[in-house]
Amino acid sequence: MDLASLQQRLSAIARARVACVGDLMLDRYVYGEVARVSPEAPIPVMVHGEETAMLGAAGNVARNAAALGAQAALAGVVGDDAQGHATARLIELEERMEGHLVPETGRRTTVKTRFVASGQQLLRLDSEDDRPVSGRWEASLVEALAAACDGAGAVLLSDYAKGAATPRIVAAAREAAAGAPVIVDPKGRSFAKYGPVALVKPNARELSLTVDMPVRNDAEAEAALAAALAACEAEAILVTRAAQGMSLAVRGGGVRHFRSEPKTVFDVTGAGDTALAAVGVALASGSGLEEAVELALLAAGVVVGKVGTAVASPAELVEAEMAARLAPAEAKLATLERAVETVARWRNEGLKVGFTNGCFDILHRGHVAYLAQARSWCDRLVVGVNGDASVRALKGPGRPVNELESRALVLGGLNGVDLVVPFDEETPLTLIEALRPEVLVKGADYTEEQVVGAAAVRAWGGEVRLAPLVEGYSTTAAIARMGARPPKGSA
C-alpha cells in the first residue's frame, strides 16, 4: 500500500468502534538478571528486578485496536480475585477502551507470568481456570457482550480455550453483531463451532490441526484452506504463516498470498492478537478484506520486533511503511523521539547501547576506523550528527561542505552504525541524556573531563571510552588540501 492510502485508512480507523469478546488474561512480566547457576540444582538464579502487567488474550486484542486509534469495547469473564480487579484497573487506564467484565465467584483469573533476563524468557508460569462459563455467569456475559457490541463496526472473538467461547456466547456474539462482521481467532480442532462468521483467523499450526494436513508452503496452505472452508460456515479464512506472510481464502474465490519484508523477530507473543485487531478495525472503518489483511501484515510486523505483549501505533505503521520503501541507509535516520523508542527496545532485549557524535563533514578513513572501534565496545551504536547550523557555529563560515542529509546518509551506509540522529544544539548533551547510553565514545584527542555528557553517563553507571585516531586524517586537513590544488585543466 502507498503512504497516502495508509494514512487515509488510519484516519478512518480513528472513527471506528469494535467489540472484543472472549477469553481474558493478565500477562505479567518479571525482569531480572542471571549471573550464576544455582548450587542446589543445574538451574539459573535470577535476581529479581522490575515487574509489569498488561492485558492479554481478548484484552490484548482490545489494546491493539485502541492503539490503532479505534474505540474498543471489551467483554469477558474474570475471577472475583485480585488478578481480576487488576485487569479491570488496566482497562480503566486505557483512553479508548471500555470494559464490560463479568467477575465470576470461584473462578481464577488466568495469569501468564513470564520470567525474562537479558531479553530472553527463562520460564512461563500459568495460573488458569478453563471451565466453560455457565449458569448466571454465562447469562451475564451475554448481556455484557450485547452492550459491548452496541454500535460496533466489527466483533472480534478471541477463543483461547479458557471457557468464555461457549456455543451460547458464540451465537450471542453473532446475534449482537447485527450484521457487522464477526472475526474469530480460533482454538481447537474444528472451525464449524463458530457458525456463519465473516472470517476465521488461525495460524498455520491451528489450520494444520483442524484439517490434519501440512501447511509448509503455498500449495499446502491452499489445499488446507480449501478443506477448512468445506468443513465450516465461515465466509473466509485467513491463515497467518509467520515469515511466509498470510494467506486468504474466500468462499467461492481463490487464495491470495500476502508477503512482507523480512523482519528481525524478537518476540511473537501477541502477534496473532495484533493481526486480529488490525483486520477488525480496518473492516469496521470501511476497508475491504484484502486491504484489512495488508494492514494486519504491517501491524504484526511491527509487534514481532518488540519484546513482550506489545501493540502497534499509527505512527509506527507509517514508519514501517516508509522504511520498507527506503534504502537501508535512509532507514537508519531517526528523530529523537524514534531514537528514544528504539534504544528502549534494544535495552529490553539486553543489548548494550553506545553513543558517539560529530560533524562528519567529509567522511574519511579515520572516521571509518573510529566508528568501527566505537561499535566494538557496544551491541548497538547511535551516532549523533550536528545539523548544518550547528556545524557552522563550531567550524565557521563555509562549513559544512556537505549538507546534513548527505552526511547522515553516508553514516547510515556504514555497517557498524545502527542509528543516526541529527541535533541542532552546539553539544549533544540533550541527546545523550534522552538516550542514556551505556557507553559514551569520543576520540583520544579529548580527555574524559572534556567529553560532553561524561559525568551524566558515569552517574547512571555507564562508561566513557576514548577511541584512538588514525594519524594523518582530518576533515580540516582534507579541505585545506582541496583548496590548495589547482583547478582542473589548469597548467
Beta strand spans in 328-451 (E): 353-358, 380-386, 419-423, 439-443
Task: Assign residue 278 the CATH number of its domain.
Answer: 3.40.1190.20
Residues of the domain holding 268: 3-325
Pair 351, 411 in one domain = yes
Asked if 292 and 261 sit in the same domain, the reply is yes
Same domain, 372 and 249: no
Tell me what pLDDT residue 78 has.
Answer: 96
Name the domain boundary from 325, 357, 373.
325
Residue 490 placed within a domain: no
Cβ atoms of 361 and 391 within 8 Å: the answer is yes
293 and 370 co-located in one domain: no
In a domain, 365, yes or no: yes
133 shares a domain with 23: yes
188: region left, alpha or beta (phi > 0 left; psi from -120 to 50 alpha):
left
Statement to judge: residues 76 and 199 lie in one domain: yes
Q: How many domains does the structure of the chain reveal?
A: 2
List phi, psi (to 5°) of 301. Answer: -65, -30
* Residues 227 and 374 both lie in one domain: no
Examine the domain organization and report whether 447 and 344 are in the same domain.
yes
Is residue 489 situated within a structural domain?
A: no
The CA distance from 114 to 30, in Å, is 6
Domain annotation covers residue 207: yes
CATH number at residue 371: 3.40.50.620
Domain boundary among 325, 344, 371: 325
Domain assignment of residue 318, yes or no: yes
Query: How far is it, in rounded angstroms, from Cα 465 to Cα 443?
Result: 8
The DSSP code sequence of 144-185 is HHHHHHTT-SEEEEE--SSS---HHHHHHHHHHHTTS-EEEE
| 377, 467: one domain | yes
Does residue 64 lie in a domain region? yes
| Residues involved in catalysis | 273
Q: What are the two backbone dihedrals, phi and then psi, of residue 198, each rounded to the nearest 5 degrees?
A: -75, -40
Residues 301 and 422 in one domain: no
- Per-residue pLDDT tens listing for the chain (491 residues): 677 788 899 999 999 999 999 999 999 999 999 989 999 999 999 999 899 999 999 999 999 999 999 999 999 999 999 999 999 999 999 999 999 999 999 999 999 999 998 778 899 999 999 999 999 999 999 999 999 999 999 999 999 999 999 999 999 999 999 999 999 999 988 999 999 999 999 999 999 999 999 999 999 999 999 999 999 999 999 999 988 999 999 999 989 999 876 555 444 566 889 999 999 999 999 999 999 999 999 999 888 877 666 788 888 888 777 776 666 778 888 889 889 988 988 887 788 999 999 989 888 888 899 999 999 999 999 999 999 888 888 888 878 888 888 889 899 989 899 999 999 898 999 999 999 999 999 998 889 999 999 999 999 999 999 998 866 555 555 555 555 444 444 33
108 domain residue, yes or no = yes
User: What is this structure's pTM?
Assistant: 0.72
Residue 399 identity: R
Q: Which of 268, 303, 325 is the last residue of a domain?
A: 325
Pair 68, 162 in one domain: yes
**427 contacts 391 by C-beta, under 8 angstroms:** no
CA distance 390 to 359: 9
Residue 395 included in any domain:
yes
Same structural domain, 238 and 360 = no
